C-alpha cells in the first residue's frame, strides 16, 4: 500500500536523481487503482534503476497544500479527490502553478480543460481502458522532458525575434500539436486492448514525440518571455 510518508530509500532515490523536492505528487483516492499508479510512478513505469519519490494525497485539501510545499516535478490529479464545490478546471489551474498536471477524469470533462491543454500546463487521460498505464507513461515523459533551465538562448539570436515570439510559438505550433497529442492519447485509452502491439507502439511513439516537442515549445516560450521581460526592464 502507498504511504504518505517517504521512506529513507525514497529520499535517497530523490537525492540520487537530483530532483528538487518530490518527483510526483499523486492526488487520488486510496484503492487498487491508486496502488497500481503509485507503484508504476515510483519505479519509473518499468524502467530499470529509475525509482522515484512519490507522495500520495487522498483528498483535495491535502493535495493543494502539498503541491505548495513539496515542490513536485509533476502532479497527478484524479477527479475523485475533488469536492463538489471545486471544478476540475479550477483545481487543475491551481495545481499547474506548481508543476505540470496529468488529469484523470471522465471524457466529458476534457472540454473544461481546453485552455490549459493548449498552453501545455495539463495533460488529460480519460478514465477508461488501461488509463493507469497511460497516465503513468504521460508523467514519465514529463519527468524526462527538458526543463527550461536546460535550454540556452543566445542574445544576438534572440534580439532578431519579434516581441510576440512566445505567443507565436504557442498559437501556431502548440495548439495543433495539442490536438495531435489529445487524439493519440484518446485512441490509446480506447483501443489499446483491441490493437496489435505494433500499432499500439506506433501510437505511443506519436504521443512520446508530441509530448517532447510540446515541452520544448513550452520551455522556449517561457524562457523567451522571461528574457524579453528582463530586457525591457533593464532598458
Could you read off the pLDDT of 158-209 as tens digits, one per residue?
555 556 666 666 667 777 777 788 888 888 888 888 888 878 878 887 887 7
- Domain spanning 1-144: which CATH class is it, in words? alpha beta
Beta bridge partners of 125: 104
Residue pair 228/188 in contact by the 8 Å Cβ criterion: no
Helices 60-70 + 88-95 axis angle, to 10: 20
Burial of 161: CB neighbours in 10 Å, binned 0-12, 13-18, 19+: middle
Q: Which helix (H) or strand (E) holds 148?
A: none
pTM comes to: 0.57
Query: What is the side-by-side strand order in the sheet with 24-27?
Result: 54-57, 24-27, 74-78, 101-105, 122-126
Q: In 3D, which of 6, 95, 80 has the Cα closest to residue 42?
A: 6
Q: What is the pLDDT of residues 91-134, one digit of tens each?
A: 999 998 888 899 999 988 888 888 888 777 888 888 888 889 88
Beta bridge partners of 78: 104
C-alpha cell at 149: 533551465
Burial of 150: CB neighbours in 10 Å, binned 0-12, 13-18, 19+: exposed
Amino acid at each position: 500500500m502507498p504511504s504518505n510518508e517517504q521512506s529513507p530509500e525514497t529520499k535517497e532515490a530523490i537525492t540520487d536523481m537530483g530532483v528538487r523536492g518530490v518527483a510526483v505528487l499523486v492526488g487520488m483516492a486510496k484503492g487498487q487503482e491508486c496502488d497500481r499508479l503509485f507503484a508504476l510512478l515510483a519505479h519509473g513505469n518499468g524502467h530499470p534503476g529509475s525509482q522515484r519519490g512519490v507522495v500520495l494525497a487522498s483528498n483535495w485539501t491535502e493535495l493543494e497544500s502539498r503541491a505548495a510545499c513539496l515542490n513536485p516535478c509533476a502532479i497527478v490529479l484524479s477527479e475523485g479527490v475533488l469536492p463538489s464545490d471545486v471544478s476540475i478546471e479550477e483545481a487543475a489551474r491551481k495545481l499547474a502553478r506548481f508543476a505540470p498536471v496529468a488529469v484523470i477524469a471522465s471524457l466529458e470533462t476534457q472540454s473544461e480543460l481546453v485552455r490549459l491543454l493548449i498552453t501545455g500546463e495539463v495533460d488529460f487521460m480519460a478514465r477508461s481502458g488501461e488509463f493507469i498505464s497511460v497516465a503513468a507513461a504521460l508523467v514519465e515523459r514529463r519527468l524526462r522532458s527538458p526543463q527550461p533551465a536546460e535550454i540556452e538562448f543566445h542574445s544576438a539570436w534572440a534580439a532578431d525575434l519579434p516581441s510576440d515570439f512566445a505567443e507565436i510559438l504557442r498559437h501556431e505550433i502548440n495548439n495543433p500539436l495539442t490536438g495531435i497529442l489529445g487524439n493519440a492519447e484518446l485512441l490509446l485509452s480506447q483501443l489499446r486492448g483491441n490493437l496489435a502491439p505494433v500499432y499500439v507502439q506506433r501510437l505511443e511513439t506519436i504521443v512520446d514525440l508530441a509530448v517532447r516537442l510540446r515541452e520544448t515549445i513550452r520551455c522556449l516560450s517561457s524562457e523567451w518571455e522571461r528574457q524579453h521581460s528582463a530586457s525591457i526592464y533593464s532598458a
